[in-house]
Amino acid sequence: MPSVKIPKHDTENDMTPFVDVAFLILAFFIMATKFKPPDAVEINPPSSVSSKELQQKDGIMVSMDKDGRTFFAMQVEKDPAPIQAVLQNMNTERNLGLTDGEIAEFIKDPVVGVPIAQLKQYMGLSEDQKKSFRMPGIPVEDSATNELYIWVRDAVSAFSGKKINYMIKGDNNAKYPNFKNVLSAFKRNEIFKFQLITAPEDVPVGTELYKVRRAGG
Protein backbone atom coordinates (compact mmCIF):
# COMPACT_ATOMS: atom_id res chain seq x y z
CA MET A 1 0.00 0.00 0.00
CA PRO A 2 1.48 3.25 -1.05
CA SER A 3 1.82 5.57 1.83
CA VAL A 4 1.26 9.30 1.47
CA LYS A 5 4.41 11.03 2.23
CA ILE A 6 3.87 14.10 4.31
CA PRO A 7 6.60 16.57 3.60
CA LYS A 8 8.54 17.10 6.74
CA HIS A 9 8.70 20.73 7.69
CA ASP A 10 11.45 22.15 9.63
CA THR A 11 10.03 22.91 13.04
CA GLU A 12 12.82 25.26 13.88
CA ASN A 13 11.82 28.77 12.86
CA ASP A 14 14.28 31.36 11.88
CA MET A 15 14.35 33.58 14.90
CA THR A 16 16.75 36.15 13.55
CA PRO A 17 14.20 38.93 12.80
CA PHE A 18 12.60 38.36 16.15
CA VAL A 19 15.89 38.77 17.92
CA ASP A 20 16.64 41.84 15.81
CA VAL A 21 13.44 43.49 16.94
CA ALA A 22 14.08 42.51 20.53
CA PHE A 23 17.45 44.15 20.51
CA LEU A 24 16.05 47.20 18.81
CA ILE A 25 13.57 47.55 21.64
CA LEU A 26 16.36 47.02 24.11
CA ALA A 27 18.40 49.77 22.48
CA PHE A 28 15.39 52.07 22.58
CA PHE A 29 14.75 51.53 26.27
CA ILE A 30 18.39 52.03 27.10
CA MET A 31 18.35 55.33 25.26
CA ALA A 32 15.00 56.44 26.63
CA THR A 33 15.73 55.68 30.25
CA LYS A 34 16.89 58.58 32.24
CA PHE A 35 18.09 57.68 35.64
CA LYS A 36 17.10 60.34 38.01
CA PRO A 37 19.05 60.75 41.19
CA PRO A 38 17.25 59.28 44.17
CA ASP A 39 15.22 61.93 45.92
CA ALA A 40 15.85 62.75 49.52
CA VAL A 41 12.21 62.13 50.16
CA GLU A 42 9.77 59.99 48.34
CA ILE A 43 6.87 61.95 46.93
CA ASN A 44 4.03 60.51 44.91
CA PRO A 45 2.35 63.40 43.18
CA PRO A 46 -1.37 63.28 42.44
CA SER A 47 -2.57 63.06 38.88
CA SER A 48 -4.24 65.70 36.77
CA VAL A 49 -5.54 66.04 33.22
CA SER A 50 -3.09 68.81 32.50
CA SER A 51 -0.97 68.06 29.46
CA LYS A 52 1.70 70.67 29.98
CA GLU A 53 5.04 69.04 30.42
CA LEU A 54 7.35 70.00 33.19
CA GLN A 55 10.16 72.23 31.99
CA GLN A 56 13.66 71.64 33.24
CA LYS A 57 14.41 75.31 33.54
CA ASP A 58 15.46 77.77 36.17
CA GLY A 59 13.11 77.53 39.04
CA ILE A 60 12.24 76.96 42.62
CA MET A 61 10.75 73.69 43.68
CA VAL A 62 8.99 73.29 46.96
CA SER A 63 8.18 69.75 47.96
CA MET A 64 5.78 68.57 50.60
CA ASP A 65 5.89 65.02 51.83
CA LYS A 66 3.20 63.00 53.53
CA ASP A 67 4.51 63.71 57.00
CA GLY A 68 4.06 67.42 56.58
CA ARG A 69 7.70 68.23 55.97
CA THR A 70 8.60 70.92 53.49
CA PHE A 71 11.67 71.07 51.32
CA PHE A 72 13.07 73.82 49.23
CA ALA A 73 15.14 73.21 46.14
CA MET A 74 16.57 75.38 43.43
CA GLN A 75 16.83 74.22 39.90
CA VAL A 76 19.11 75.84 37.36
CA GLU A 77 19.33 75.24 33.67
CA LYS A 78 23.10 75.47 33.53
CA ASP A 79 24.73 78.18 35.58
CA PRO A 80 24.72 77.35 39.29
CA ALA A 81 25.64 80.91 40.31
CA PRO A 82 22.21 81.76 41.80
CA ILE A 83 22.37 78.76 44.11
CA GLN A 84 25.78 79.80 45.30
CA ALA A 85 24.63 83.37 45.76
CA VAL A 86 21.66 82.33 47.88
CA LEU A 87 23.72 80.17 50.17
CA GLN A 88 26.55 82.64 50.49
CA ASN A 89 24.09 85.37 51.29
CA MET A 90 22.44 83.17 53.90
CA ASN A 91 25.85 82.26 55.27
CA THR A 92 26.93 85.83 55.89
CA GLU A 93 23.52 87.04 57.02
CA ARG A 94 23.05 84.34 59.61
CA ASN A 95 26.69 83.71 60.49
CA LEU A 96 26.37 80.04 59.68
CA GLY A 97 30.10 79.59 59.19
CA LEU A 98 29.80 77.41 56.13
CA THR A 99 33.03 76.71 54.33
CA ASP A 100 33.51 77.12 50.58
CA GLY A 101 33.71 73.37 50.31
CA GLU A 102 30.35 72.96 51.98
CA ILE A 103 28.81 75.52 49.66
CA ALA A 104 30.26 73.70 46.65
CA GLU A 105 28.80 70.51 48.06
CA PHE A 106 25.41 72.13 48.35
CA ILE A 107 25.42 73.21 44.70
CA LYS A 108 25.61 69.58 43.68
CA ASP A 109 22.46 68.73 45.58
CA PRO A 110 20.64 71.99 46.27
CA VAL A 111 17.88 70.76 48.54
CA VAL A 112 17.20 72.44 51.85
CA GLY A 113 15.33 70.31 54.31
CA VAL A 114 16.47 71.66 57.62
CA PRO A 115 15.88 74.89 59.51
CA ILE A 116 18.48 77.54 58.73
CA ALA A 117 20.00 77.20 62.18
CA GLN A 118 20.75 73.52 61.56
CA LEU A 119 22.21 74.03 58.12
CA LYS A 120 25.82 74.05 59.25
CA GLN A 121 25.35 70.90 61.26
CA TYR A 122 23.70 69.17 58.32
CA MET A 123 26.36 70.22 55.85
CA GLY A 124 29.00 68.85 58.17
CA LEU A 125 27.64 65.33 57.92
CA SER A 126 29.31 62.80 55.70
CA GLU A 127 27.57 61.29 52.68
CA ASP A 128 26.53 58.20 54.59
CA GLN A 129 25.36 60.15 57.57
CA LYS A 130 23.30 62.40 55.31
CA LYS A 131 21.54 59.38 53.90
CA SER A 132 20.45 58.13 57.28
CA PHE A 133 19.76 61.60 58.64
CA ARG A 134 16.08 62.39 58.69
CA MET A 135 15.61 65.96 57.62
CA PRO A 136 13.01 67.75 59.72
CA GLY A 137 11.88 70.03 56.90
CA ILE A 138 11.74 73.79 56.71
CA PRO A 139 9.52 75.56 59.22
CA VAL A 140 6.54 77.07 57.40
CA GLU A 141 3.84 77.08 60.06
CA ASP A 142 3.36 80.70 60.99
CA SER A 143 4.51 83.94 59.50
CA ALA A 144 7.06 84.67 62.23
CA THR A 145 9.06 81.49 61.68
CA ASN A 146 8.30 80.95 58.04
CA GLU A 147 11.77 80.23 56.69
CA LEU A 148 10.44 79.21 53.33
CA TYR A 149 9.55 82.84 52.82
CA ILE A 150 13.21 83.78 53.35
CA TRP A 151 14.49 81.10 50.99
CA VAL A 152 12.06 82.09 48.28
CA ARG A 153 12.84 85.76 48.71
CA ASP A 154 16.59 85.15 48.46
CA ALA A 155 16.22 82.82 45.53
CA VAL A 156 14.10 85.28 43.60
CA SER A 157 16.65 88.03 44.11
CA ALA A 158 19.50 85.67 43.20
CA PHE A 159 17.87 84.80 39.91
CA SER A 160 17.72 88.58 39.38
CA GLY A 161 14.93 89.06 36.92
CA LYS A 162 15.29 85.84 35.04
CA LYS A 163 12.09 84.05 34.24
CA ILE A 164 11.67 81.37 36.82
CA ASN A 165 9.10 78.71 37.44
CA TYR A 166 7.63 78.24 40.85
CA MET A 167 6.95 74.58 41.21
CA ILE A 168 5.11 72.89 44.00
CA LYS A 169 5.35 69.17 44.33
CA GLY A 170 3.22 67.56 46.94
CA ASP A 171 2.57 64.04 48.00
CA ASN A 172 -0.89 62.58 47.64
CA ASN A 173 -1.20 62.41 51.39
CA ALA A 174 0.22 65.80 52.20
CA LYS A 175 -2.25 67.79 54.22
CA TYR A 176 -3.91 70.91 52.93
CA PRO A 177 -2.71 73.25 55.73
CA ASN A 178 0.85 72.52 54.68
CA PHE A 179 0.01 73.48 51.12
CA LYS A 180 -1.68 76.62 52.36
CA ASN A 181 1.43 77.58 54.32
CA VAL A 182 3.59 77.06 51.27
CA LEU A 183 1.24 79.20 49.21
CA SER A 184 1.29 81.95 51.77
CA ALA A 185 5.10 81.91 51.80
CA PHE A 186 5.02 82.53 48.06
CA LYS A 187 2.22 85.06 48.29
CA ARG A 188 4.20 87.12 50.76
CA ASN A 189 6.86 87.31 48.08
CA GLU A 190 4.27 88.60 45.62
CA ILE A 191 4.29 85.40 43.67
CA PHE A 192 0.90 84.23 42.57
CA LYS A 193 1.51 81.89 39.71
CA PHE A 194 2.43 78.32 40.46
CA GLN A 195 2.93 75.11 38.70
CA LEU A 196 1.74 72.09 40.58
CA ILE A 197 3.62 69.01 39.57
CA THR A 198 1.32 66.16 38.76
CA ALA A 199 1.29 62.85 36.98
CA PRO A 200 -0.57 62.73 33.69
CA GLU A 201 -4.06 61.34 33.58
CA ASP A 202 -6.64 60.81 30.86
CA VAL A 203 -9.48 63.26 30.42
CA PRO A 204 -12.76 61.61 31.43
CA VAL A 205 -14.91 60.90 28.39
CA GLY A 206 -17.92 63.13 27.87
CA THR A 207 -16.80 66.06 29.97
CA GLU A 208 -16.46 69.63 28.78
CA LEU A 209 -12.70 69.42 28.55
CA TYR A 210 -13.01 66.21 26.59
CA LYS A 211 -15.15 68.00 24.01
CA VAL A 212 -12.76 70.92 23.83
CA ARG A 213 -9.73 68.70 23.41
CA ARG A 214 -11.44 66.65 20.76
CA ALA A 215 -12.58 69.74 18.89
CA GLY A 216 -9.11 71.20 19.04
CA GLY A 217 -7.62 68.07 17.61
Partner 1 sequence: MASLDTGGGDGGHKKSVGVKKAKKLSTRVDMTPMVDLGFLLITFFIFTSTMSTPTTLDLFMPKDTEKDEELNKAKESGALTILLAKDNNVYYYEGQLSVDDAGNNFKSTNFKGIRQVIIDKRRTTPEEDLVIVIKPNEEATYKNTVDILDEMTINQIKRFALVDILEVENELIKKTQESGE
| Contact set with partner 1 (CB under 8 A) | 15-16, 18-19, 22-23, 25-26, 29-30, 32-36, 45-55, 64, 167-168, 170-180, 183, 186-187, 190, 192-201, 203-204, 207-210, 212
Mapped onto helix, strand or coil, the DSSP state of residue 187 is helix
Q: Residue type at 50?
A: S
What sign for the dihedral angle of Cα 182, 186, 192, 195? negative
Q: Rounded to the nearest whole angstrom, what is the least distance from the CB of residue 110 to partner 1 in the complex?
A: 19
Compute, in degrees rounded to 10, the torsion defined by CA atoms 125, 126, 132, 137. Answer: 40
CB of 16: closest distance to partner 1 in angstroms?
6
Specify the residue, 45 or 139, whose C-beta has the smaller distance to partner 1: 45
Identify the DSSP state of 206.
T
Supply the DSSP symbol for 91.
Answer: H
Shortest gap between Cβ of 99 and partner 1 (angstroms)? 35
* C-alpha closest to that of 143 among 180, 90, 171: 180
What is the CB-side half-sphere exposure of residue 215 using CA atoms within 13 A?
7
Q: Which is nearer to partner 1, 65 or 96 (CB)?
A: 65
User: Shortest approach of partner 1 to residue 128 CB, angstroms?
Assistant: 25
Nearer to partner 1, 18 or 214 (CB): 18
Q: How far is the CB of 79 from partner 1 (least distance, A)?
A: 23
Nearer to partner 1, 98 or 167 (CB): 167
Q: Give the Cα separation of 188 and 77 in Å (integer).
A: 26
Q: Name which of 70 and 84 has its Cβ closer to partner 1.
A: 70
Residue 134 CA neighbour count, 13 Å, CB half = 4
